[in-house]
Amino acid sequence: MKNLIFIAFLVISNSLFGQGFDMTVTGNWTRTIDASDIGEAGSDYPATFTSNLNQTLLTIDPKNKNKTFVVFVHKEDIAWIAALTLKIRRTSNGTNGNNSINGGLNYQVITNNDANFFTCSDLLTFVQLQYEITGISILLPVQSYSTSIMFTVMLQ
């Protein structure tokens, strides 16, 4: 019997004050993958695993609401291998109905380098984020894999 493979994604909650922003990120994703995920004997794991639509909630309060800001995303690997690909997308405009938010609706790969995720020019509250992971296979070593997702906000 194959041991459990444990996949954990940790999103760091923090506040960003450097450029006049307050940012709060809440949520994490832990996915245990085991033999029950295989449909029939001789098969591999499914090609893709996805989190809940609201797995992470992001709130950004710019002190100057007349300026456009950019949200960047990257990961910092803790125990990760190149065979795994982690993606992110935005699944809402937040609970305050912000229509000045652009981008981030399609999955994009999270790398170890900052990448533009979306832009906005007003308060964002509880923007929902979803994750997708690919590359999981019965050929991967059985162990825990984890990475931290980091968000950076800058004026455009």
pLDDT of residue 41: 64
Q: Give all strands (DSSP E) within the chain, no chain letters.
A: 5-11, 21-26, 28-33, 48-50, 56-62, 69-79, 85-90, 108-109, 115-120, 124-134, 144-155
Would you state the structure tokens that stand for residue 37, as one six-digit string? Answer: 């995920």
The confidence score (pLDDT) of residue 7 equals 43
| pLDDT tens digits, one per residue of 132-156 | 999 887 788 888 888 889 998 888 8
Cα 26–Cα 127–Cα 50 angle in degrees, nearest 5: 75
- Calculate mean pLDDT across residues 71-93: 93
Q: Is the Cα dihedral 51, 57, 87, 3 positive or negative?
A: negative
Q: Could you tell me whether strands 56-62 and 21-26 are parallel, antiparallel, or unpaired per DSSP bridges?
A: antiparallel
pLDDT at 90: 96
pLDDT given at position 10: 44
Residue with the larger pLDDT of the pair 42 and 110 = 110
User: From CA 69, how far away is CA 77, in angstroms rounded?
Assistant: 26
How much is the mean pLDDT over the chain? 81
Averaged pLDDT, 29-34: 81
pLDDT given at position 46? 72
Tokens of 74: 């990257």
CB 97 within 8 A of CB 127: no
Q: In residues, how long is the chain?
A: 156
Please write the tens of the pLDDT for every residue from 53-80. Answer: 999 999 888 877 777 889 999 999 988 9
pLDDT value of position 115? 96
pLDDT band at 121 (very low <50, low <70, confident <90, very high): confident
